[in-house]
């Protein structure tokens, strides 16, 4: 029994101990996640503000410095060496090293390090080699001012932070995902960072924007200093090779040629764009050829590539760094200011150490000279003890050391005793004096640098730019992007059908009436016999309301499409007429256009894409003493108002029927079109230069530097090349004057011509290899000034002014023209044209309706207020 009791007591004690241990484990567990999160944030994912390195990057750079002997080292060897400091696997170290090497700044690489353009990975670490670049050796290391700490196992010392004297974090960029925290600092241009640092040191304002190694085009309008909430848009650089081929020469950051081509093929499979085939000719530079089927617009396809593929993407920066073991959210401007100020502090520390070393060297050189020149070493010959030797030297130095800058210490005297006899016997007093003077000059120079530290730092940055800035010019072109509306550029990849009686629309109703081709992202507008209107998304089958009278693809903010409608307010009620536009609404909401009476009915309806106003005949039922049972109604007499307006009263009697008598003509004024050279696109919003007012058949005249002349419709989707030199409204009767250099004849020729084939591109200059376009004028009566080359030893020939109209008549577009002069020409300049009164165009007297505007992608637009007043009785 006693043994059993003892056993029970022991089991109880064990149980209590196990409960205590469970409580302790639980207590530990509560802190484990926080410890893990802190570790990931501080030791893995986020760079330090002081040097711009993550721990693994810092340890790689430290290992490269320890291994540095000027020759290449196998990356596998560097990785193994780094594992002495970094307690993780070799794969993560190798990946981090490859990323540093691909940025082409700190590591001089040899072998296959991968390709950021194609996405190809690097070869295995045992096959590739690396060494520190000259830039890294100059900027990253300074052991005397480096703070050191023990490595994870206590066997080695590693730097707490490397003394980086350059805004390296902004030059390389950084990206990392930690626990509940991330960072995304975009790379910036090397030379621009140096210029910004110099401006900061001078107290001037500066702005820096990202620059990507993949080049491309970027819109930094919303960069927001690289902080949370900012966004930049990046695009591939796409140009037209010919009418059936596009070429991509630069790609957006974050993509490669493989992923870019995959996104284009996916968009093609989904029917967003149409592509015949894609060729990837990328090697040292990107070249992707996109071949288009016949009849597909290259300009529209470029927009579609931006809208539906990885040719355009958005990058959201997030400036997060580590400072004092805590995350810090700051913008790139403050990062650069802190880095620059830190560089100044590091330069100061280096100068102070240098000054201390120079003064110490001067001090001992002076002592050595005194010791040898005054033969103090002879006074120790009689001394028998070490202390006696020290005292003898000390006593011998005292008469000569008043000019020294510090006291002579016992260590100084001991050091004098270590001078070899050979050095004493070969001591050259003049050389010793020259050494001391050179040290004094260097001390004075160092003190001057310390007193003028900012100027010294500016000179340091300028020297960095001079030595390492060549070939590091900006790669990414900064532009303001035009907004692309997906519904305007998407390929119509499906067909829309309608069942009018039952009230269904959709893409799957193939047995019913075909309406139009559409895309799967289009909105559809529908009107019913009851006077109801609704806009809804394209779908396989949607119920919108019985007795559909009109269905079409809807364009938001379209102020040119005008709807003409005559409706009966209720059974036996009055009849009204109205004209209106539909520019915005809420999707899937039913709008009552003929009043809210259940018996309202639409008697006549037409949709007119250019504001046409037809004439209809209204016929009444015979009732009572009505004298006039039939008359014509002209919609051009009805003002265009809001869709919610009641309209004008047609008649209070019952209408028998309404018939179309005469088709309408447009009641819209010619639309005004502007050219915005910021985005190189046309617009109707008043941005840029006004090109004129365009009617339906008016064309634009385009001439480029290669001498290509063409006329094109003023399509808002058209893209214009940078080498365009003439863009204006084309007047078929106005001659074009061109001065071109004919290479074979080595002479300038002048020609005048009219565009003979409006729909054809034509080269209007000589097509020899040395020929080029010198000057083009679209004035009615141009004047040009010719400046001649001065002959050797003679006065220059006076300038010749040429009246182009008198010099040559209008000839065919392919004519070579007349030779301007046989003398050597220095310059040809256009002068003010002679006066000419252009024939005036007949102005439109009808109402003006603004053309379709650029719009956003929001599903729900704010509905405009509608005018429901001013009703006028017609009959």
Contacts of 280 (CB under 8 A, 6+ apart): 257, 261, 287, 288
Tokens found for residue 73: 């080292």
Residue (of 701, 717, 809) closest to 755 by Cα position: 701
Task: Calculate the alpha carbon distances from 645 to 80, 580, 640, 861 in Å.
Answer: 80, 9, 10, 19
Q: Cα angle at 325 between 323 and 328, to 5 degrees?
A: 40
The crossing angle, in degrees rounded to 10, of helices 410-417 and 386-397 is 100
SS3 for 638? Answer: coil
- CA 217 – CA 234 distance, rounded (Å): 6
Q: Where are the alpha helices (DSSP H) in 741-846?
A: 804-807
Give yes or no for a contact between 811 and 752, defined as CB atoms under 8 angstroms apart: yes
Tokens found for residue 94: 């190798």
Give yes or no for a contact between 230 and 320, defined as CB atoms under 8 angstroms apart: no
- CA 133 – CA 112 distance, rounded (Å): 17
Task: Calculate the alpha carbon distances from 174 to 99, 314, 319 in Å.
Answer: 10, 17, 9
Give yes or no for a contact between 291 and 244, defined as CB atoms under 8 angstroms apart: yes
Going by the DSSP 8-state scheme, the letter that residue 115 receives in this structure is B
Tokens found for residue 352: 């102070």
How far from the centroid of its chain's Cα atoms is residue 321's Cα?
A: 23
- CA 617 – CA 655 distance, rounded (Å): 11
- CA 350 – CA 357 distance, rounded (Å): 10
- CA 566 – CA 706 distance, rounded (Å): 56
Task: Calculate the alpha carbon distances from 98 to 91, 111, 113, 116, 472 in Å.
Answer: 11, 11, 7, 11, 20
- CA 482 – CA 219 distance, rounded (Å): 10
DSSP string, 709-750: EEEE---TT----TTEEEEEE--TTS-EEEEEEETTTTEEEE
Give yes or no for a contact between 658 and 566, defined as CB atoms under 8 angstroms apart: yes
Residue (of 559, 609, 563) closest to 852 by Cα position: 559
Active site includes 127? yes
- CA 309 – CA 489 distance, rounded (Å): 12
Give yes or no for a contact between 650 and 635, defined as CB atoms under 8 angstroms apart: no
Catalytic residue among 36, 39, 127, 152: 127
The crossing angle, in degrees rounded to 10, of helices 90-102 and 75-82 is 120
- CA 192 – CA 610 distance, rounded (Å): 51
Strand partners, 651: 575
Strands 700-704 and 708-712: antiparallel
Tokens found for residue 337: 């200011």
Tokens found for residue 818: 């007349």
Phi/psi class of residue 416: alpha, beta or left (left: φ > 0; alpha: ψ in -120 to 50)? alpha
How far from the centroid of its chain's Cα atoms is residue 470's Cα?
A: 23
Tokens found for residue 682: 């046309």
Give yes or no for a contact between 533 and 602, defined as CB atoms under 8 angstroms apart: no
- CA 413 – CA 156 distance, rounded (Å): 35
Length reported for the chain: 875
Q: Residues with catalytic annotation? A: 127
């Amino acid at each position: 029994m006693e043994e059993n009791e003892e056993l029970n007591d022991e089991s109880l004690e064990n149980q209590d101990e196990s409960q205590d241990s469970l409580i302790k484990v639980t207590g530990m567990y509560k802190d484990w996640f926080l410890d893990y999160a802190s570790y990931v944030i501080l030791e893995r994912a986020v760079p330090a503000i002081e040097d711009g390195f993550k721990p693994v990057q810092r340890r790689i750079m430290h290992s490269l410095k320890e291994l540095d002997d000027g020759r290449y080292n196998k990356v596998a060897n560097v990785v193994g060496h780094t594992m002495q400091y970094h307690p993780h696997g070799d794969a993560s170290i190798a990946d981090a090293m490859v990323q540093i090497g691909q940025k082409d700044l700190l590591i001089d690489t040899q072998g296959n390090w991968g390709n950021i353009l194609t996405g190809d990975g690097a070869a295995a670490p045992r096959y590739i080699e690396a060494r520190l670049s000259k830039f890294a050796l100059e900027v990253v290391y300074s052991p005397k001012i480096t703070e050191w700490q023990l490595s994870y196992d206590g066997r080695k010392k590693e730097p707490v932070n490397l003394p980086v004297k350059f805004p390296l974090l902004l030059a390389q960029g950084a990206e990392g995902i930690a626990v509940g925290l991330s960072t995304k600092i975009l790379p910036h241009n090397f030379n621009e960072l140096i210029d910004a640092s110099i401006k900061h040191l001078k107290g001037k304002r500066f702005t820096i924007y990202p620059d990507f190694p993949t080049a491309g085009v970027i819109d930094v309008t919303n960069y927001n200093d690289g902080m949370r909430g900012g966004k930049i848009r990046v695009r591939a650089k796409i140009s037209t090779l010919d009418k059936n081929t596009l070429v991509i020469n630069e790609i957006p950051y974050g993509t490669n040629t493989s992923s870019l081509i995959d996104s284009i093929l996916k968009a093609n499979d989904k029917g967003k764009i149409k592509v015949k085939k894609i060729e990837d000719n990328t090697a040292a530079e990107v070249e992707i050829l996109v071949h288009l089927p016949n009849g597909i617009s290259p300009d529209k396809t470029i927009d579609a590539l931006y809208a539906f593929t990885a040719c355009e993407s958005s990058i959201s920066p997030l400036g997060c760094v580590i400072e004092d073991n805590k995350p810090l959210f700051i913008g790139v401007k403050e990062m650069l200011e802190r880095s620059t100020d830190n560089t100044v502090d590091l330069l100061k520390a280096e100068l102070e150490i240098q000054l201390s070393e120079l003064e110490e060297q001067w001090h001992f050189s002076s002592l050595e000279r005194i010791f040898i020149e005054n033969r103090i070493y002879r006074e120790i010959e009689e001394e028998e003890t070490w202390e006696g030797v020290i005292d003898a030297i000390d006593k011998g130095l005292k008469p000569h050391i008043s000019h020294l800058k510090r006291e002579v210490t016992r260590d100084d005297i001991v050091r004098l005793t270590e001078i070899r006899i050979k050095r004493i016997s070969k001591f050259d007093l003049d050389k010793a004096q020259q050494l001391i003077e050179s040290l004094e000059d260097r001390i004075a120079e160092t003190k001057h640098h310390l007193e003028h530290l900012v100027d010294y730092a500016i000179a340091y940055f300028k020297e960095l730019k001079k030595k390492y800035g060549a070939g590091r010019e900006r790669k990414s072109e900064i532009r303001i992007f035009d907004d692309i509306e997906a519904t305007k550029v998407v390929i119509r990849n499906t067909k829309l059908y309608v069942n009018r009686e039952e009230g269904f629309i959709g893409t799957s109703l193939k047995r019913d009436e075909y309406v139009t081709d559409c895309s799967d992202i289009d909105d559809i507008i529908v009107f019913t016999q009851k006077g109801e209107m609704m806009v809804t998304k394209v779908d396989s089958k949607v119920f919108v309301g019985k007795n559909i009278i009109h269905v079409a693809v809807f364009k938001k903010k379209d102020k040119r499409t005008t709807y003409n409608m005559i409706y009966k307010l209720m059974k036996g009620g009055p009849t009204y007429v109205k004209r209106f536009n539909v520019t915005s609404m809420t999707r899937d909401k039913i709008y009552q256009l003929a009043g809210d009476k259940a018996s309202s009915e639409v008697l006549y309806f037409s949709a007119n894409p250019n504001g046409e106003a037809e004439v209809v005949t209204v016929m009444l039922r015979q009732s009572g003493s009505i004298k006039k049972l039939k008359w014509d109604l002209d919609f051009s007499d009805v003002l265009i108002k809001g869709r919610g307006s009641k309209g004008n009263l047609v008649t209070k009697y019952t209408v028998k029927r309404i018939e179309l008598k005469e088709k309408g003509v447009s009641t819209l004024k010619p639309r005004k079109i502007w050219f915005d050279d910021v985005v190189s696109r046309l617009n109707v919003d008043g941005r840029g230069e006004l090109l004129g007012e365009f009617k339906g058949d008016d064309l634009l005249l385009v001439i480029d530097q290669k001498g290509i002349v063409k006329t094109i419709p003023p399509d808002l989707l058209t893209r214009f090349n940078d080498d365009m030199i003439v863009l204006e409204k084309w007047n078929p009767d106005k001659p074009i004057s061109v001065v071109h250099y004919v290479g074979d004849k080595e002479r300038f020729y002048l020609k005048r011509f009219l565009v003979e084939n409006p729909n054809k591109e034509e080269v209007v200059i000589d097509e020899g290899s040395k020929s080029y376009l010198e000057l083009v004028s679209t004035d009615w009566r141009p004047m040009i000034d010719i400046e001649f080359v001065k002959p050797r030893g003679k006065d220059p020939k006076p300038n010749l002014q040429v009246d182009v109209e008198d010099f040559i008549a209008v000839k065919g577009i392919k004519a070579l023209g007349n030779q301007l002069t046989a003398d050597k020409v220095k310059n040809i300049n256009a002068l003010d044209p002679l006066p000419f009164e252009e024939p005036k165009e007949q102005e439109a007297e009808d109402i003006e309706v603004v053309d379709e505007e650029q719009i956003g992608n929001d599903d729900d637009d704010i509905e405009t207020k509608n005018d429901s007043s001013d009703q006028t009785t017609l009959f």
